[in-house]
A and B are shown apart, each in its own frame.
Chain A
């Protein structure tokens, strides 16, 4: 295992064999939903409540 995974391509291949498509999609969905909610949530109450966080983190797009 060590020899096949000590290159970047080896790591990507390793992830490909280790993860099912469902797991991959679930992971991407989690990251997308969390990131989207923190940065782009336009629902007014949520957006305003996180206003101070965005300013404190230096994210100026709102």
Chain B
């Protein structure tokens, strides 16, 4: 059963990885190059000789990123499925939303995506610490939110949803006490850049959830057909 869930996550990860790889190829990579040209002065030694190679590696890394997310998603879904509310579709999308909050949303409150070329204000150690802290906070808050919803959903949908929102003050509070990240010299570029990067992550998790729920539905139909068929009884 575990293997079936992990394989399903991996399959969904192939779809999401393909989508995200295309995003990196046609949107992310050109935008990073443009941003570096605009901000200027941020040279990467390896890129001068092999811009095409760097782009190809980045696209492949985007695909692998989707695959990794898919595998982790499949395992997390195996564990969390009984606790998640709703049917297979809602569960997939809820878990994907939790994945987005954990990997991207919460860390971005402290370290928002910076246009390539902007020198970070904080040291690498400090940024790693805050990225990890906010990932833990993001995962924790999703769990708390689920627990709050499960407790209060019997008192009405509004009470349940209201309770589910409350835990999200935790990452917001943490972000308020965290040191400020670098301020981009060009606010318009920074806003456009963040919008594009956020869209990419929404695309990644959205595709993952859509592919996963489709696979889950297909497998439950297959199971029902097997159970219905009298010949398969043994």
Contacts and interface: CB of A to CB of B under 8 A. Distances in A.
Nearest to A30: B71
Contacts of B82: 5-8, 10-11
Contact of B32 (A10, A44, A52): A52
Q: How large is the interface on A (under 10, 10 to 19, 20 to 34, 35 or more residues)?
A: 35 or more
Interface residues of B, number: 55
Main secondary structure of the interface of A (DSSP, over half): helix
Contacts of A44: 45-46
A15 to B, nearest CB: 5
Contacts of A45: 46
Interface in B27-77: 27-29, 31-33, 35, 44-47, 50, 53-55, 57-59, 61-62, 64-65, 67-68, 71-72
Interface string B74-115: 000011111100000000000000000000100010010110
Contacts of A51: 32, 44, 46-47, 54, 58, 116
Main secondary structure of the interface of B (DSSP, over half): helix
Contacts of B113: 55, 58, 60
B201 A57 contact: yes
Interface in A1-20: 1, 5-8, 10-12, 14-15, 18-19
Given A7-B82, A11-B78, 4 more contacts: A27-B6, A34-B64, A34-B68, A51-B58
Interface of A: 1, 5-8, 10-12, 14-15, 18-19, 27, 30-31, 34-35, 38, 44-58, 60-62
25 contacts: A7-B82, A11-B79, A12-B79, A19-B2, A27-B6, A31-B71, A34-B64, A38-B61, A38-B65, A48-B44, A48-B54, A49-B50, A49-B57, A50-B57, A51-B32, A53-B28, A56-B24, A56-B58, A57-B24, A57-B197, A58-B108, A58-B201, A60-B114, A60-B120, A60-B181
